[in-house]
Structure formats: structure tokens, C-alpha cells
Structure 1
């Protein structure tokens, strides 16, 4: 693995800006033309409320609600696009759909709106995926996410704030974790350099490792050459001058 995997592109900036711009345009339409988009949110366990799985992330109750979701989305979508470019669109799309569907199943009988479910998907995915890769830059990213947004974890529990959709937050967190386990990232795995790094390595068959006991102490075991010593059959040598036979037993060293 080398750092060439991380390449900046215009989409690192364009994607989060475009997504957040859509949220603000929808909110502008809502207040400018007095549209009631709340009915398009998730209403759990009803057929009409299932449409909110797709539409709810783009609907916000007020300007404060929209602002509080916009800043994290700008940061997290940019980080996702830069560090996980191949997984970006699938994480966003499946994150919205799956977290919305789970909210529809477990939510209270009320309209659930806002992009906070997606924010929890992104926080969860970036944190857990970075830890799983064990690559120092992605682990550092995971820790940075925890420093910035670690306090959000409290809002996945009920009774913390009844005015928010903790069900949407919990759904997003669970879906983000599931996606981090689903997507394999072989490009971030360390290259195998030594024999002992291979998954099928057998220390008992390795000449060097056999020199140590189970506690790691040098055991001074017989060398492989000593194990392979073979005793040859007696050979007869003739000395013609004296007409005498000598039997000599030799060992191959």
C-alpha cells in the first residue's frame, strides 16, 4: 500500500457542495412557495410513509435544522470522496435507502425528516472502516471523526431528546457499520513480504522457527542436516598389495 491511492479531484469539493446545495434549494422552495414537504417524510409502517425513505434526507424543519446538517455533510462527504473514492456513491445511496428503511421499521408514529441519518451513516462507516484497514492514515481519519463528532453517539439512544429522531440516528449508525464490514478494501492491505506473513504459514515446518520452543526460547534443536544423516551399508575395500580386506563403516555428514 502506498499513498498514491489518495488522489485529489474536483469531485472531492464538488460532491459535498452539490449535495448540500440541493438541500438548501429544497428548503428555499419550501418557504418560498409554502410547500408542505413534511408529508413526504418517513412515517413508520405505513405504505404512504415509505416514500420518505427516498425523500426524507432532503427535507428539514427549519433553518437551524438545515444548517446543523449542512456543515457535517460538507466535511464527511469530502472525506469519504477523498479517502474512499470507489465506495463513495454506493455508501451514500445505500446509506440513504437502508437507514431510511430501518427507520421506517422501528420509528415512532411521527414524520421523520432530515439528513442526520446519512450523517450517522458516514460517521459510522468512516470510523469503523478506518480501524478495520489498520492503515495509519485511515486510522488517523477515524480518530479525527471521533474527535469532531464523537458526541453524536448519545443521540442514538431514546429519551435523550424527544424532539429528534433517535431512530433515524441509530439506523444510520447501524447501516454505516454494516457497510464497513461489507466492503473489502484490498488496496489498503499491507503487501506480503515475509513467509511468516502468509496466512498458511506453518511454524513447525519452518527451519528457523524450529530452533525455538513454544515459549520463544532458543532450543538448540538438531539441524536439518543432522536429521537427514543416513548410515550407509558397510563397504569393502581391497588392498591388492597385501591381499587384505578392510571393512569401513562411514556415515554421510
Structure 2
């Protein structure tokens, strides 16, 4: 049996689309070989979980590897912490989150960091890196400006507070009810961390916590790459109307 009119071919409804598809040589696609919307969603969910796990494991591996190297070198890597108002060390805002003073410090950041990395990573690589970069920049620069001359700030806790801040507020800004519920749950579970925003613990960088948190809230407010499809469509429609009004004014309507 052969077909020279693709529109009349039984392969036309196989779920692969009606253009540019070459039927398999083994005959018509069986019903169980077709990709349904449910299968597509399952594949998407698995991919999201895999991405989240990748970032979570990667975070743990990196900070632990750096700490072991730091221990073996007698703590020499601690120099790459943030030195407030030292212009030569401004770029240390990118290395400071990888360093920890001891194993207790490292452990306190490992579990929440891995959890937050996993949740944010499930939204995609782009979302994770955009959120993390903004937290590093705002948290690091804020610590560099207000951390106190002569001090050295190290640890991933600024990132931890930033990731938590982002997860708490993102459901408010992108109008996603599920993400809003996740934010409420995390705010309740990690409510004890809010004390770290205050200058009440000697030797603890409350500045990194505070400005890291500010960076996370800013990420939730301004980063739109994790917006739900409905919200993106609404924004695009609003932008289109704005452009049409602008064109109308230019043309004198």
C-alpha cells in the first residue's frame, strides 16, 4: 500500500503533526506509540525533577569540595571572602558563597541550600541562574558596602536567604497559587532564619543574610522567566496594546 496524498494517509493523525513527518517503515503507529498530552506532561515533570536534582547535587558537591581544599590548605582560601570597602577584593562577592569557616558552618548551609536549589531548579536552568546571579550581586555588594571595615565575610548563607526570599515571594509576583502555597510553607518551616537578619549573633554576617534576602525578593519581583503561561500571555497582550496606542499617537489617531 502506498500513498501520494499525505492528507489521506492514515499516518496523518498519529500525533506527530501534519507536516514534514515521514511515516515509520514498519507500518502505522500503534495507539500506545502515540505521544499524548499526559505523556508530554509526565516527560516535562521528569525533566524538571532531573534539573532540580542536578542543581541540588551540584551545590552540595561544590561547597564540600571547596571546603576540603580549604582545610587541606590550612584555611588559605578564606582570603577570598568579602572584605568590605576594599576595592581590590570587590570581585570576591563571587567566591565568598563557596567558603565556610568550619564543618558546622558548612552543614548548616548544606541541607537548606540543597532543598532551595532543587525547588528553584525545577523551574529551569535559566530561572535558577538568573535568580542566583541577582542574589550574588545584590547580596555581595550590600555586604561589601555595609559589612564593616576590617571584617571578612564567607559562607553560602547569603545565597540561602536569597533563595528563600525568592521562593517566599515569587508566587505573589507571578500570581501562581501553587508557588504562593510553597512560599507560605517555606516561610513557616524556616521562620527561625529570620532572626539571622538582625545583628544579634556575634561573628554572624547579618549583612549577608539581609542583603541576600533583599536580592531574593528583587529576583521574585523582576525575573519573569518563571511566569506561568497565562501570565505571560496577559503581559504580551498588554504590551501589544501599549505598542498599538503608541503607534496610533504617532500616526495622529
The verdict on a shared fold, with TM-score over 0.5 as the criterion, is: yes
What's the TM-score, normalizing by structure 2?
0.69
Report the equivalent of 1:156.
Answer: 197
Task: Say yes or no: does 1:7 pair with 2:45.
Answer: yes
Closer, same or farther: CA 67–188 of 1 in aligned 2, 3 Å: farther
Looking at structure 2, the residues matched to 85 and 138 of structure 1 have their Cα atoms a distance apart, in angstroms, of 17
Q: Which runs of 5+ in 2 are unaligned?
A: 1-40, 235-240, 242-253
Compare the two structures and name the one with the higher helix fraction: 2
Report the equivalent of 1:51.
Answer: 91
Moved more, 165-174 or 130-139: 130-139
Instruction: State the structure with bigger RCO (CA 8 A, min sep 6), 1 or 2.
Output: 2
Report the equivalent of 2:229.
Answer: 187
What's the TM-score, normalizing by structure 1?
0.69
Structure showing greater radius of gyration is 1
Closer, same or farther: CA 122–169 of 1 in aligned 2, 3 Å: same
Cα shift readout 1:33-81 (whole Å, capped 9, x = no counterpart): 3241121100100123313201100110000000000101110010001
Q: How does 1:81-100 map to 2 (within 5 A)?
A: 81-83=121-123, 86-100=126-140
Moved more, 119-128 or 183-192: 183-192
RMSD between superposed Cα atoms in Å: 2.6
Moved more, 6-15 or 120-129: 6-15
Q: By how many angstroms is 1:93 displaced?
A: 2.1
Match of 1:69 among 104, 109, 113: 109
Q: By how many angstroms is 1:84 displaced?
A: 5.6
Q: By how many angstroms is 1:178 displaced?
A: 1.1
**Equivalent residues, number:** 192
**Would you say the 8 A contact 2:51–2:124 is kept in 1?**
no
Looking at structure 2, the residues matched to 61 and 119 of structure 1 have their Cα atoms a distance apart, in angstroms, of 16
Secondary structure of the structure 1 residue equivalent to 2:152: coil
**Would you say the 8 A contact 1:41–1:51 is kept in 2?**
no
Looking at structure 2, the residues matched to 12 and 62 of structure 1 have their Cα atoms a distance apart, in angstroms, of 27
Closer, same or farther: CA 137–188 of 1 in aligned 2, 3 Å: farther
